[in-house]
Structure 1
Amino acid sequence: MKTNSQIAEFLESTTGLREFEIKGVSSLSNISDNSVAFVTKLNENVQAMIVENSETLFLIPIESDLDLDNVIKVANPRTAYARLVQAFFTPADTPGISSSAVISESAKIGSNVYIGENCVIENDVIIGSGTVVKHNTVVYRHTIIGKDCYIGSNTSIGGPGFGYEIDTDGNPFRVPHLGNVIIGNNVDIGSGCSIARGTIDSTIISDYAKIDDNVFIAHNVFVGESSFIIAGAEISGSVHIGKRVWISPEVAIINKITIGDDVLIGIGATVTKSIGENSVAVGSPARVIRSRYERDEK
């Protein structure tokens, strides 16, 4: 439980407030007393709602001329809301290793790590401090996971990739994958994901990358810093993804191509050719339709 003044201090706001306790959060469609909500656009109806709900704290755009004792003006209400919810209202996983987890003796587990029920951590895995690995996840041999990462449930990291050659009798046989997966710091990986280890070198997920549920990443893929890969996307082998890329749901990217920095790929696109930086690409096959940012907008 927090107070208005504590939240204002956290958000570095000097707004004058009438003091009352904040017990939780509200959406604009379901306002409750002693909660905090955020507003991205003000109109007459929203302003009337703010006035009517005087025991609710509202985060509103800084340019607003609405001056009430239950509002805090911030540059980006949605971002400010996310920050304070993370700081004050999100239950944290208590560090520790669940009794049903299977941890190799050669694995190195950092401080304040949480490993959930029925997880398997294989030989020579390294997990950095503050990382959370949720239930039923398997981390295969030699995988390296950085600090303050989040790995969802039922995810596979570092398993063998899908690669075959044909023998002299015309039958397929699996190509051994001897590489590993390297995951940077502050990476989030959702539930139901599969990230394959490299064939010889590494599959690499860089710092601050965010991977949604049910994403497949094949062997030798490189994902750049602060990139987003959203639910249902499939990234084929040896794809190189730049920094700050947004890959939308159900995108498929063919093997060995490059996605430049600051690219946005639209929902359901099939990417068959490399895409230069700062582009928006849509369709199947994907085609570039415009720049993502103006030169000084990024």
Structure 2
Amino acid sequence: MFRLDELVARLGGEVSGDAGVAVHRVATLDQAGEGDLAFVANRKYLPKLRESAASAVIVAPDAKALLNGRSAIVVADPYLYFARVAQLFNPLPVVRPGVHALAALASSVPSSAEIGPGASIEEDVEIGEGVVVGAGCHIGRGARIGRGTRLAARVTIQHGCVVGENCILHSGVVVGSDGFGFAREKDGRWVKIPQIGRVVVGNEVEIGANTTIDRGALDDTVIGDGCKLDNQIQIAHNVRIGENTAIAGCVGIAGSTTIGARCMIGGQAGIIGHLTICDDVVVSAGTLVSKSITRPGVYTASLPVQPHADWVRNFSHLRHLDALAGRVRSLENQ
């Protein structure tokens, strides 16, 4: 439980109304009740502010006139402030140091680490202070895990890979699986190319459930500091991703692609191999990136949803686009 003035003292902002109002959780405008702190991050939700039962709200300065006496915290970015308050109300579980009796360890771990049941840690592994290794995790030989990192149940860190400090890896993550590397015989048979690089994950990285990051074929696959990866992403061998880039679910990134810093990749986007995407690029959901992007900005290559009959009609025109262009050129020449 925090009073509004206590939150402002910790996180900044300005109190409007009663600074002594106490709140114990964050909630949406629709669901908030007594003791809840709601937020308005989008102006289209301002009409709901009047009906909300929240004890207080987080709003931008331009919404202050609509408060009608309601207590509030006024900040430039309500959504960012909400995130910080939510962290304050919902801290990560306290680490419970110790090694479960059902864990199998071939390397020593610090006394501050928590090793869950069924976890297996091979030889020459380095585990930092305060690391959590969840139930059923596997850490291969020679891997390194930085201090404060948390592995949920059934995370796999393959041999030689590096995960930095204060990372969060959710269940089913695989770091360091073999990249998809094969040469082809003349008769069509495939010859496997050993994948001898590593995966190097920076600090403060979060990786969602069932995301896979392949080890490099020769050089390393690298995930920069502060990256946030959603669930079920495939990152192929030798990909390099710059710091603070965020990637939504079901994205596929083919091998040897370099993505810059502070990029945002929308869900189900696909990026083919051997491309370069510069810093500060936004790729819209469902977009196929088939060539390098050299200038910051928003890039989209997907069609908005439409009724099926409209799509069929429009596509029928698209099939004849080349012939239409030829007729236009002919008319222009005339």
TM-score, normalised via structure 1 length: 0.88
TM-superposition CA deviations, 1:64-98 (whole Å, max 9, x none)? 23463621111111110101111222443525111
Runs of 4+ in structure 1 over 3 Å off: 42-47, 66-69, 167-170
The answer to whether the 8 A contact 2:14-2:75 is kept is no
Larger mean Cα displacement after TM superposition, 115-124 or 63-72? 63-72
How many matched pairs? 282
Which residue pairs with 2:85 in the alignment?
Answer: 84
SS in structure 2 of the partner of residue 280 of structure 1:
strand
Partners of 1:216 and 1:5 in 2: how far apart? 45
Counterpart check, 1:48 vs 2:50: yes
Q: Conserved in 2, the CA contact under 8 Å of 1:58 and 1:72?
A: yes
CA distance in 2 between counterparts of 1:14 and 1:272 reads 47
Partner of 1:210: 228
Instruction: Tell me, yes or no, if structure 1 residue 161 matches structure 2 residue 179.
Output: yes
What is the match of residue 62 of structure 1? 61
Q: How does 1:116-265 map to 2 (within 5 A)?
A: 116-167=134-185, 169-265=187-283
The 8 Å contact of residues 119 and 138 in structure 1, kept in 2 or not, is answered as yes
Closer, same or farther: CA 67–110 of 1 in aligned 2, 3 Å: farther
Alpha-carbon distance in 2 for matches of 1:104, 1:170: 38
RMSD: 2.0
Deviates more, 1:123-132 or 1:68-77: 68-77
Q: Report the structure, 1 or 2, having the larger helix content.
A: 2
Q: What is the alpha-carbon distance in structure 2 between the residues aligned to residue 43 and residue 70 of structure 1?
A: 17
Change (3 A) 1:101 1:272: same
**1:2 counterpart letter in structure 2:** F
Retained in 1: the 8 A contact 2:4–2:73?
A: no
How big is each residue's C-alpha offset from its partner over 1:116-149, in whole Å with a ceiling of 9 and x where there is no partner? 1100001011111111111111100111111111
Q: Quick one: distance in 2 between partners of 1:269 and 1:44? A: 32
Q: Name whichever of 13-22 and 146-155 sits farther off.
A: 13-22
- Larger Rg over CA atoms: 2
Q: Letter of the 1:56 partner, please give it.
A: S
Distance 2:300 2:50 in 1: 41
Q: Which residue matches 1:94? A: 95
- CA distance in 1 between counterparts of 2:19 and 2:176 reads 53
Cα contact 1:93–1:132 (8 A) shared by 2: no
8 Å CA contact retained: 2:28, 2:38:
yes
User: d(CA) in 2 for partners of 1:248 and 1:259?
Assistant: 14
Q: What amino acid sits opposite 1:71 in the alignment?
A: A
Cα–Cα, structure 1 residues 12 and 67, in superposed 2: closer, same or farther, change >3 Å?
Answer: farther
Q: Work out the CA distance in 1 between the residues paired with 2:179 and 2:291.
A: 22
> What secondary structure, in the 3-state scheme, does the structure 1 residue paired with 2:69 have?
coil
Moved more, 14-23 or 113-122: 14-23
Q: CA deviation at 1:260?
A: 1.1
Query: Who is 2:301 aligned against?
Result: 283
Higher mean alpha-carbon deviation, 197-206 vs 61-70, is at 61-70
Does the CA contact (< 8 Å) of 1:123 and 1:141 recur in 2? yes
2:314 is matched with which residue? none
Structure 1: any 5+ residue segments left out of the alignment? 286-298
The 2-side partners of 1:255 and 1:245 are apart by: 17
Q: Is the 8 A contact 2:230 2:247 kept in 1?
A: yes
Q: CA 1:44–1:256 in structure 2 vs 1: closer, same or farther (change >3 Å)? A: closer
Matched ranges for 1:97-116 at <5 A = 97-116=115-134
Distance in 2 of aligned mates of 1:249 and 1:177? 28
For the structure 1 residues 43 and 280, does the alpha-carbon distance in structure 2 shift closer, same or farther, using more than 3 Å as the test?
closer
Following superposition, the deviation at residue 13 of structure 1 comes to 3.2
Kept after mapping to 1: 8 A contact 2:235/2:252: yes
Look up the match of 1:292: none
State the distance in 1 between where 2:39 and 2:246 align.
24
CA contact (8 A) 1:271 1:284 kept: no
Cα distance, 1:3 vs. partner? 2.5
* Contact preservation (8 Å) 2:183, 2:191: yes
Q: Is the 8 A contact 1:18 1:69 kept in 2?
A: no
Give 1:266 shift: 1.5
